[in-house]
Amino acid sequence: MKKRIISILLAVTMLSATLAGCAGNSADSGEKTTGNKKGTQETTAAGADSEKETGEEQTAGEGEPVKIKFLNRWAEDTVLGAAIYKACQDFMEKNPNVEIEYDAVAGADDTQFYEKMKTAAATGDMYELFQNYGGSTIYSYVESDVLYDLTSEFEKDKEWKDNFLDLFSMWEYQAKEGVYGVPFTDFATVLYCNKDMFESRGLKYPETISEFEAVCDKFLEEGITPVPMSGEGWRFAHLLSGLVMRKYGEDYIYDLANGKEKYTGDKMLELVNLMKSWQDKGYFGENIASLDSATEQALFSTEKSPMIAIGTWQPTNILENNPEFLDRKGVDVIWFPAFDDKMDLKGGSMGGPNEGLSIAKKDEATTAATVKLVKYLTSPEVVTEIWKADPTQIFAVKSATPPEEMNYLTKECIDLINNTATGLMQEIDQYSTIASLQDRLRNSLAGMVAGNSPEAAMKEVQDEIDSHN
Q: What pLDDT does residue 51 have?
A: 41
Residue ranges matching CATH 3.40.190.10 in the chain: 66-186+352-416, 188-350+427-467
At 354-410, the pLDDT tens digits run 899 999 999 999 999 999 999 999 999 999 999 998 998 999 998 899 999 899 999
CA distances from 273 to 243, 265, 270, 366 (A): 12, 12, 5, 52
Q: What pLDDT does residue 111 have?
A: 82
Rounded distance, CA 54 to CA 295, Å?
43
Q: What pLDDT does residue 108 have?
A: 64
What does CATH list as the number for 188-350+427-467?
3.40.190.10
Answer yes or no: are the C-beta atoms of 36 and 176 closer than 8 Å. Answer: no
Answer yes or no: are the C-beta atoms of 19 and 381 closer than 8 Å. Answer: no
Q: What is the DSSP letter of 424?
A: E
- Counting as low any pLDDT under 50, the low residues of the chain are 1-61
Rounded distance, CA 276 to CA 259, Å?
25
Q: What pLDDT does residue 114 have?
A: 87
Q: What pLDDT does residue 37 have?
A: 45
**Degrees, nearest 5: CA angle 397-398-401:** 90
What does CATH list as the number for 66-186+352-416?
3.40.190.10
Q: What pLDDT does residue 53 have?
A: 42
If residue 83 lies in a helix (H) or strand (E), which one and from where to where? Answer: helix 79-94
Rounded to the nearest 5°, which phi and psi values hold at 150? -85, 0
Q: What is the pTM of this model?
A: 0.79
If residue 168 lies in a helix (H) or strand (E), which one and from where to where? Answer: none
Q: What pLDDT does residue 433 have?
A: 86
Q: Which residues contact 263 (CB under 8 A, 6 or more apart)?
A: 256, 458, 459, 461, 462, 465
3-state SS class at 390: coil
Rounded distance, CA 317 to CA 239, Å?
20
Answer yes or no: are the C-beta atoms of 265 and 322 closer than 8 Å. Answer: no
Answer yes or no: are the C-beta atoms of 226 and 219 closer than 8 Å. Answer: yes
